[in-house]
Amino acid sequence: MKSPQVAFSEYLANENLKMTPQRRLILETMLKQGDHVSSEELYARVKKKDPSIGQATVYRTLKLLSDSGLVEPLDFADGVTRYEPSYGKEHHDHLICEKCGKNIEILDAIIEHRQEAIAKEHGFTLNSHKMYLYGICSDCRKE
Amino acid sequence: MKSPQVAFSEYLANENLKMTPQRRLILETMLKQGDHVSSEELYARVKKKDPSIGQATVYRTLKLLSDSGLVEPLDFADGVTRYEPSYGKEHHDHLICEKCGKNIEILDAIIEHRQEAIAKEHGFTLNSHKMYLYGICSDCRKE
DNA sequence: GTCGTTTTGACATTGAATTTCGTTGATACC
DNA sequence: GGTATCAACGAAATTCAATGTCAAAACGAC
């Protein structure tokens, strides 16, 4: 499988866009960071490596990464959009503790299968889905 | 079953809040409107009946209705929060056409059951969930 | 090098949602 | 009735994430 960097370069070339040091740095930082970063958080992190970078560039690049399928926007209903690297990773959904924010990645074959079936029943071809489960984790329940 | 109006009054009384003509009007309008209204749309609708009403009141009342469980906030990822009456209605999720915006309400016992099971496996008590399926409907696929 | 295009960073702007604040209005108590 | 209390109101200001604007800089093609 191609590296994310190569995949991104190819996507950019395909759209007549260019790979730049800023875009490279943002992608690197995103991959290293891993999971569930907001644009603001990523901006702070990127700025440590290159203080001259602007946050508009971070927003713009995240949009590109999102369009190219390398990262996926998440919506935990706390007002900010978060992102996670999705390239080469299996799809998964999220189980979130409403108290401490703990975030568990879940994947369930039965549900995935039913989703396809439901879409088909209604004549839809399914492109994607979002599923978030909200509850209280065992740690928080103890208190 | 209690009427929504009564249920709302009781909720307000319980929180040491009061039923007011504005809150009553907003609830009425919400119930009559039915499905998937944004705060702005609801504000416009309410304003026709009572032009003196302010949109802060609509936001505030929607929050109250949401907290009381009478309406449910929806997130179709288009930047605005929409609401639908949920009191006395069975829970359901949404199947959305990405092209024409068609919105089908779905309910699947298998999925609901699995969601509970998954939460339990991870030690969570499930409070709520959101599931959105995105695809293309048969009408749009023909074109 | 020069031209044309894209990208960038600083800054301004948008737009949904919330907060502030002075006023209004209802309720309770005398 | 009078008035003190306190929530609720409307208008306007404010917040904050996200996007748009624009001149300058970087890059590639020639």
> So what's the pLDDT on residue A57?
96
Kindly state the average pLDDT of the residues B28-55: 92
**Shared-domain flag, residues A72 and A105:** no
A127–B141 CB contact, under 8 Å? no
Can you read off the two tokens belonging to residue B18? Answer: 């009061």
**Contact partners, residue A74, CB within 8 Å, separation at least 6:** A36, A81, A82, A83, A84, A94
Domain boundary among B37, B57, B85: B85
* Chain B residues touching A79 at Cβ < 8 A: none
Residue B124 near chain A (CB below 8 Å) = yes
Identify whether residues A99 and A80 lie together within a single domain. Answer: no
The mean per-residue pLDDT over the stretch A15-41 comes to 92
Phi then psi dihedrals of residue B3, to 5 deg? -75, 155
A111 and A57 housed in the same domain: no
Task: Name the residue facing B124 among A114, A128, A135 (closest C-beta).
Answer: A135
User: Whole-angstrom Cα distance, residue B73 to residue B81?
Assistant: 6
Question: What pLDDT was estimated at residue B93?
Answer: 93
The per-residue pLDDT for B66 is: 94
CA of B16 to C1' of D1 (A): 28
Domain co-membership, B75 together with B120: no
User: What type of residue is B87?
Assistant: Y
Query: What is the CATH number for A80?
Result: 1.10.10.10
B136 and B70 share a domain? no
Any strand C atom closer than 7 Å to A47 CB: no
CB contact under 8 A, A77 and B75: yes
Same structural domain, A107 and A42: no
Q: What are A47-73's pLDDT values in tens digits? A: 999 999 999 999 999 999 999 999 999
Domain boundary among A49, A65, A85: A85
Helices and strands of chain A, counted as H and E runs: 6, 6
Considering the domain architecture, whether residues A103 and A36 belong to the same structural domain is answered as no
Residues A97 and A66 in one domain: no
Domain harbouring B109, CATH code: 3.30.1490.190
Amino acid B22 CA to nucleotide D8 C1' distance, rounded Å = 10
Q: Which two tokens stand for residue B7?
A: 């249920």
Task: Provide φ and ψ at A2, rounded to 5°.
Answer: -60, 150
Last residue of a domain, one of B49, B66, B85: B85
Q: Do B64 and B116 fall within a single domain?
A: no
B57: which residues sit within 8 A by CB, 6+ positions away? B22, B26
For chain B, what is the domain count? 2
Strand order across the beta sheet in which B103-106 lies: A103-106, A93-97, A125-136, B125-136, B93-97, B103-106
- Check if A25 contacts B (Cβ < 8 Å): no
Specify the DSSP element, H or E, that contains B56: helix B55-67
Q: Domain containing B133: what range? A: 93-142
Residue A70, pLDDT score: 94
Nearest CA in chain A to B74: A77
B63 at interface of A, judged by CB pairs closer than 8 A: no
Q: What is the mean pLDDT of chain B?
A: 92
Cβ–Cβ contact A126 with B under 8 A = yes
What is the rounded average pLDDT of the residues B80-92?
91
The answer to whether A133 contacts B118, with C-beta atoms less than 8 Å apart, is: yes
Q: What is the CA radius of gyration of chain A?
A: 17
Same domain, residue pair A64 and A122: no
Q: How far apart are CA A117 and CA A123, in angstroms?
A: 10
Task: Confirm or reject contact between B140 and chain A (CB < 8 A).
Answer: no
- Looking at residues A83-102, what average pLDDT do you find? 89
Does the structure show a pLDDT above 80 at A77?
A: no
If asked whether residues B66 and B41 sit together in one domain, one would say yes
Mean pLDDT (whole number) for B75-92: 88
- Is the pLDDT at B27 greater than 90? The verdict is yes
